[in-house]
C-alpha cells in the first residue's frame, strides 16, 4: 500500500505511535484500517505509523535493513453502506469528520464481518439510535439516493 489517505486527525499520542512503528519494524501486523475512498474512518495512529515505518524501510534506516516491507490492511467501505451511515446520522458527508458517530453507526449498518471486526474498538463512543438504523436499512437504494439528493448531500 502506497496510496495516500486522509486520516481523521494527526498523531495525538506519541507513545502509541512509536509503539506501532516499532511493532512494524519487528514485522508485526497492526489491526486493519477502515476507509471511505481516500478518507480514513479509523486508524489515524496506525496509518501514521505505517507511513513512518515504510519511509524508514524504504530509506534503509539503521535497524530496518532486515525488516520485511511494512504493511497495514485498508478495508474499503461499500458506498451504499456509507450513504446509509450518513442518513442514520442525519449529517452531511461534508461534516463526517466532526463525529465519532461515523464508525459507531457504520458498525451497526455494515454486513462486512472484517469491517465490523475492525470497528469494534470504536463502539465506546456515542451510539446511533438503532430505530434509525433499522429504518434507513429498509430503504431501497433508489430511495436512499433520492433522500441524499433532496438533502443536498450528493
* Domain co-membership, 36 together with 93: no
Other C-beta atoms closer than 10 Å to the C-beta of 140 total: 8
Count: domains in the chain:
2
CATH number of domain containing 38: 3.90.1530
Place of cell 489515524: 44
Does the residue 3 lie in any domain?
no
* Domain co-membership, 106 together with 67: no
> Which range marks the domain in which residue 94 is found?
78-150
Does the residue 120 lie in any domain?
yes
* Domain co-membership, 89 together with 127: yes
Task: Give pLDDT tens digits for 115-152.
Answer: 998 887 765 555 555 566 666 666 677 776 777 676 66
Q: E strands of the chain, at which residues?
A: 33-36, 39-40, 74-76
Task: Give pLDDT tens digits for 43-66.
Answer: 889 999 999 999 999 999 999 988
Mean pLDDT of the chain: 82
Dihedral of the alpha carbons of 139, 140, 143, 147, in degrees to the nearest 10: 40
* Domain co-membership, 98 together with 83: yes
pLDDT at 24 over 60: yes
* Domain co-membership, 99 together with 138: yes
Task: Give pLDDT tens digits for 75-124.
Answer: 999 888 888 887 777 665 665 555 667 888 888 888 899 999 888 776 55
Q: State residue 128's pLDDT score.
A: 54
* Domain co-membership, 66 together with 84: no
* Domain co-membership, 100 together with 144: yes
DSSP class of residue 75?
A: E
Does the residue 5 lie in any domain?
no
Q: Which of 109, 108, 101 is nearest to 144 (CA)?
A: 109
Amino acid at each position: 500500500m502506497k496510496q495516500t489517505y486522509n486520516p481523521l486527525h494527526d498523531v495525538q499520542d506519541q507513545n502509541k505511535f512509536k509503539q506501532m512503528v516499532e511493532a512494524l519494524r519487528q514485522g508485526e501486523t497492526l489491526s486493519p484500517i477502515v476507509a471511505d475512498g481516500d478518507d480514513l474512518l479509523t486508524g489515524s495512529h496506525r496509518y501514521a505509523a505505517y507511513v513512518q515505518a515504510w519511509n524508514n524501510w524504504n530509506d534503509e534506516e539503521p535497524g530496518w535493513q532486515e525488516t520485511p516491507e511494512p504493511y497495514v490492511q485498508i478495508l474499503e467501505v461499500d458506498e451504499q453502506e456509507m450513504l446509509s451511515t450518513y442518513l442514520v446520522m442525519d449529517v452531511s458527508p461534508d461534516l463526517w469528520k466532526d463525529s465519532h458517530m461515523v464508525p459507531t453507526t457504520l458498525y451497526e449498518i455494515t454486513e462486512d464481518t472484517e469491517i465490523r471486526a475492525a470497528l469494534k474498538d470504536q463502539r465506546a463512543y456515542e451510539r446511533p439510535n438503532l430505530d434509525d438504523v433499522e429504518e434507513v436499512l429498509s430503504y431501497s437504494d433508489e430511495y436512499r439516493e433520492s433522500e441524499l439528493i433532496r438533502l443536498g448531500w450528493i
